[in-house]
Amino acid sequence: MINIQPYSNPRYFVILFIALLPLIIGLYHGRRFKAYEAFVSLLFLFLMFNGKDWIQGVQLIGYIIFQFLVTFAYQKYVNSGKNKTSVFCLAVILAILPLAAVKIAPLVPNKAADLIGFFGISYLTFKTVQVIMELRDKTIKKVDPITYARFLLFFPTISSGPIDRYRRFKEDYDKAPERDKYIENLKFGTRYIFQGFLYKFIIGYVFGTLWLPQLAKDALFYGQANGGLRLSWALLGYMYCYSMYLFFDFAGYSLFAVGTSYFMGIRTPMNFNKPFISQNIKDFWNRWHMTLSFWFRDFIFMRFTFFAMKHKLVKNRIRLSQLAYFVDFLIMGFWHGLTWYYIVYGIFHATAIIINDIWLRFKRKHQKQIPHNQFTKWFAIFLTFNVVCFSFLIFSGFLSTLWFGWK
């Protein structure tokens, strides 16, 4: 049985390029072969869920059918002129239900529960919830079933994003780009894929595979010896090494996904923009895993504040934004998984961004007294970098291993 995980090895890229070649030639000549594109997508999905992962494949099919039922039932409801909040909430809850089940499953002490879930479900849920919300807002008037299926099952991004938006995707998918634009896509696509090789297979490999296990061993050893909070220099090393690994591995993957999309004439949005030169936490979330943080900004933070302001739930603007940050990052934490370190990671970032906001307000008021120069800029970058790396140490779950012996 052949089972090929996306972007996992050089062979995948060879197969990918061969499979995409007819599409590339078509797009170069201004034509999008939609049927062939669907065939390639399904083929790659099949390879991904073939063999040992077949149970996941079956769940993916069931999931898509379920989401179609929810989305189109809700569309029918909205188009009949009704717009009750309760029905909207029900639709959102139904759309999230499968993901919630997958997140709760690991807590159930039963062998069968381990089988629940499939690669990519977290990312698919962003897409379906987004469409339901936009249907309510009437910014999406009609969901085209075929485009919707292609949007959900777009294989370059299905496993871990970047998270595209339906309307943006549809615009690309409905046409073939002009030739000079497409040539530019190819140019960037190639660059991204090679940059991805450097990030994921070289730098990410060095940090993640060569150095990280040794640092983990040392941190556990010296942690035991030192007692207390089990801190050690090796733990500090682990923190930086893991942060670098996390970035290069995930940014590398994202570059593959974006690069492949570009070859297919779909300009999937970028996920990272030099996150480690962020000057504060707010800046960081505009640069790190951008499609995720922007999704949360647009569909959680802004909606929550809009609702709360409209109904005057919280009078004070600053309090409201702080509350909204907590809601935002807590949900993000839960989305990562129901373990203490993901939730603490969310709370940590909410706290950090609130402190950051207080500081920014203070700075604006005292612009004249507070120096602003090259030194303060680099200090801000240094400080942000360390706060972020510490948050990744929480996120890594290593502290759980170190302190409690489980992860």
Partner 1 sequence: MDTKQAVLDILNELTGEDLSDQMDENIFENGLLDSMATVQMLLELQDKCDVTAPVSEFHREDWDTPNKIIAKVESLRNE
List of residues contacting partner 1 (CB under 8 A): 133-134, 137-140, 282, 297-298, 301-303, 305-306, 309-310, 317, 320-321, 324, 360
CB 40, CB 20: distance < 8 Å: yes
Q: What totals of helices (H) and strands (E) does the chain contain, helices first?
A: 18, 0
The structure tokens listed for 140 are 């999406």
Owner of token pair 């569909």 = 299
Query: Which CB, 32 or 165, lies closer to partner 1?
Result: 165
The long-range contacts involving 365-373, CB below 8 angstroms and separated by at least 24 positions, are none
* CA 360 distance to own-chain centroid: 27
Query: Which CB, 207 or 299, lies closer to partner 1?
Result: 299
CA separation for the pair 97, 95 (Å, rounded): 6
CB 118, CB 63: distance < 8 Å: yes
* CA 386 distance to own-chain centroid: 22
Beta carbon of residue 198, minimum distance to partner 1 (angstroms, whole number): 30
Beta carbon of residue 354, minimum distance to partner 1 (angstroms, whole number): 12
Sign, CA torsion 383/389/392/393 = negative
**Identity at 316, one-letter amino acid code:** N
Beta carbon of residue 81, minimum distance to partner 1 (angstroms, whole number): 16
CB 160, CB 335: distance < 8 Å: no
Beta carbon of residue 302, minimum distance to partner 1 (angstroms, whole number): 5
CA separation for the pair 342, 375 (Å, rounded): 34
How buried is 317 (Cβ within 10 angstroms: 0-12 exposed, 13-18 middle, 19+ buried)?
Answer: exposed
Nearest partner of 208 among 183, 157, 242, judged by Cα: 242
CA separation for the pair 301, 294 (Å, rounded): 9
Query: Which CB, 210 or 360, lies closer to partner 1?
Result: 360
The structure tokens listed for 296 are 């949360």
CA separation for the pair 88, 97 (Å, rounded): 14
The structure tokens listed for 255 are 């570059």
Query: Which CB, 321 or 400, lies closer to partner 1?
Result: 321
Nearest partner of 398 among 226, 233, 238, judged by Cα: 238
Query: Which CB, 111 or 312, lies closer to partner 1?
Result: 312
How buried is 236 (Cβ within 10 angstroms: 0-12 exposed, 13-18 middle, 19+ buried)?
Answer: middle
Beta carbon of residue 134, minimum distance to partner 1 (angstroms, whole number): 5
The structure tokens listed for 350 are 């909410």
Query: Which CB, 193 or 290, lies closer to partner 1?
Result: 290
Is 336 noted as a catalytic residue in this protein?
Answer: yes
Beta carbon of residue 301, minimum distance to partner 1 (angstroms, whole number): 6
Q: How far is CA 85 from CA 100, 140, 242, in A?
A: 21, 17, 43
Query: Which CB, 188 or 294, lies closer to partner 1?
Result: 294
Beta carbon of residue 135, minimum distance to partner 1 (angstroms, whole number): 9
Beta carbon of residue 331, minimum distance to partner 1 (angstroms, whole number): 15
Query: Which CB, 261 or 322, lies closer to partner 1?
Result: 322
| Active-site pick, 336, 349, 366, 372 | 336
Active site (catalytic) residues: 336
